[in-house]
Amino acid sequence: MDRFIIEGGKKLKGSVRVSGSKNAALPIISAAILGSGKTVIHNIPNVKDIRTLVKILEYMGASVRFSNNTMEIDPSGIDRFTAPYEFVSTMRGSICLLGPLLAKYREAKFSMPGGCVIGTRPIDLHIKGLKKLGVDITIEEGYIVGKARKLKGTTVFLGGNFGSSVLATANVMSAAALAEGETIIEFASCEPEIVDLARFLKKMGAKIYGEGSHCIRIEGVKKLNGVEYSIIPDRIEAGTYVLAGCITSSAITIENFIPSHLLSFLDKIEETGIPFKTGTDFLKINNITSRWKPVDIVTLPYPGFPTDLQAQMTAFLTLADGISTVTEKVFPERFIHIGELNRLGANITLDGPKAIIKGVNKLIGAKTMASDLRASAAIVLAALAAEGETEVSRIYHLDRGYEKFEEKLNGLGANIRRIR
C-alpha cells in the first residue's frame, strides 16, 4: 500500500489549478446512460472513484473511453443491469447509477452500499423516492432489486433526519427526467453538484425547473439525447488547497475555483482573520502575518458549511490562537481524523458530534494512518505545517478523490514523497 513521507514546515508559493468536481462527475456520468446516443464529458478528474464507476459501466456493457480528463460514454451496449458488491463496496457513490438504470431499463440489481468509516449511511431516501416513482423495490441477498413497468411522476419529500440527501436527489431527479408526467422533489438538495447535474440533463433534453432550490420540478420527457458537457470545478478540492495555504501561512493562488460555491467556508476563513481576495474564478491568499483566530463551525447541507471540508478545517484550527468548536450535523460520527491529528500534537476532544479544538503553538511530525478521503487530506494539511517528518499510510483513500494531490502540492513547494 502506498504511503506519503511529508517533510513539514515548508512555505508554499505560486498557484495551483483545481480539477473538475468528482461529486458532480459521478451522477453526471451515471446520467449519461439515459441518452439515446454517445455523450462526451470534459473536465472529469482522473481519480479512483471515477475509474471504479467506469468499471461498473463497462461491466454493464457500456463502452467508455477516458483520456485527458475527457470521457466518451456509449450506453448502447448495456445489457446487464447489475452493480456487484466488489465495486459498490469500494465506492458508495456508485449508488447514483440506480436512478438512471431504473429510468432507462426499468430494472436494476444493485449491491447495498453498507456502512463506511464516516457512519452507517442509510439509503432509505433513495428507495423512498424511487418507489414513489413507481419502482417495485425489494432487498434480496444484500442487493436492492428494482423493477418497474413504467415510471410515473409524483410529489416526493426527500428530507431525512440529517436534512436533504445529495445523491437521493440526483437519483430521483435523473429518474424523473424520463418518467411520465410531472415530479416535484420537496426538500431537494441544492448543492452546486445537483445544479450541474440538472444543467447536464437539461442539455440532454430534460425539462427541469428550480434546481438550486429545495423544490425541483421535473416534467418527464420520452427521450434524452447524448450531448457534450463540461463539469464544474471541484469546490472541495479548492477548499483543501485554500486550507493548505492558510495552515502553512503561505500566499498562494487557487485557480479554476468558483468562490460562490463555497461562501459559507470563505465566510469562516474571513472570520479567522486570514487575508484573501477572490475573483470570479480564483482565490488569492495574501500575506499572513499572525496566528489566526478560533471559530465555531457547524456543518450543514448546502449552502451551509460542507461536511467534506470539516476534517481539513479542523486540521487548520489546531493551530488557531484559542479554542474552536466544530459540530458535525451531516455525518455526526465523522471524526476519525481527530486521533491522528492528536498524534501530531493537536489538542482535540470530542463531545458527541462536537469537536473542541484547543489551538496549540506547533504540530510535530509523526506516523499516521489515513482512514477516509477527507480525513486523509486533513492529516496531509497538518503534516505540511508540522515540524519534521510525517508518514501517512493507506493513502489509497486520497487517490479516490484528489487528482495528482502530491504533485499539485509539491508544485507549490511542499515536500511530499510517495513510497510505493
Please give the Cα distance from 248 to 380 (Å, whole number). 12
Residue in 96, 116, 215, 246 annotated catalytic: 116
Tell me the C-alpha to C-alpha distance, in Å, between residue 114 and each of 101, 121, 123, 268: 20, 7, 9, 33
Interaction of residue 194 with ligand UD1, rule CB under 6 A: no
Least distance in Å: CB of 306 to ligand UD1? 6
* Closest to ligand UD1 by CB, 48 or 343: 48
* Closest to ligand UD1 by CB, 26 or 224: 26
Q: Which of 9, 84, 160, 294 touches ligand UD1 by CB under 6 A?
A: 160
Mask: binding to ligand UD1, 84-123, rule CB under 6 A, as x and -?
Answer: ---------x-------------------------x-xxx
Q: Which of 57, 20, 51 is nearest to 39 (CA)?
A: 57
Least distance in Å: CB of 1 to ligand UD1? 23
Please give the Cα distance from 265 to 313 (Å, whole number). 9
Residues 6+ apart with CB under 8 A from 267: none
Q: Which of 86, 124, 270, 407 touches ligand UD1 by CB under 6 A?
A: 124
Q: Is 339 exposed, middle or buried (0-12, 13-18, 19+ CB in 10 A)?
A: middle
Least distance in Å: CB of 257 to ligand UD1? 18
Interaction of residue 167 with ligand UD1, rule CB under 6 A: yes
**Is 116 tagged catalytic?**
yes
Q: Which of 297, 376, 383 is nearest to 346 (CA)?
A: 383
Q: Which cell goes with 278?
A: 477572490
Interaction of residue 44 with ligand UD1, rule CB under 6 A: no
Q: Is 337 exposed, middle or buried (0-12, 13-18, 19+ CB in 10 A)?
A: buried
**Three-state SS for 86?**
helix
Partner residues linked to 35 by β-bridges: 224
Interaction of residue 330 with ligand UD1, rule CB under 6 A: yes
* Closest to ligand UD1 by CB, 33 or 344: 33
Q: Which of 308, 372, 399, 406 touches ligand UD1 by CB under 6 A?
A: 308
* Closest to ligand UD1 by CB, 308 or 399: 308
Interaction of residue 168 with ligand UD1, rule CB under 6 A: yes
* Closest to ligand UD1 by CB, 160 or 294: 160
Interaction of residue 212 with ligand UD1, rule CB under 6 A: no
Residues 6+ apart with CB under 8 A from 290: 273, 321
Least distance in Å: CB of 127 to ligand UD1? 7
Please give the Cα distance from 408 to 390 (Å, whole number). 18
Least distance in Å: CB of 28 to ligand UD1? 11
**Three-state SS for 78?**
coil
Instruction: Cite the active site residues.
Output: 116
Positions in the binding site for ligand UD1 (CB under 6 A): 23, 26, 93, 119, 121-126, 160-162, 165-168, 193, 307-308, 330-331
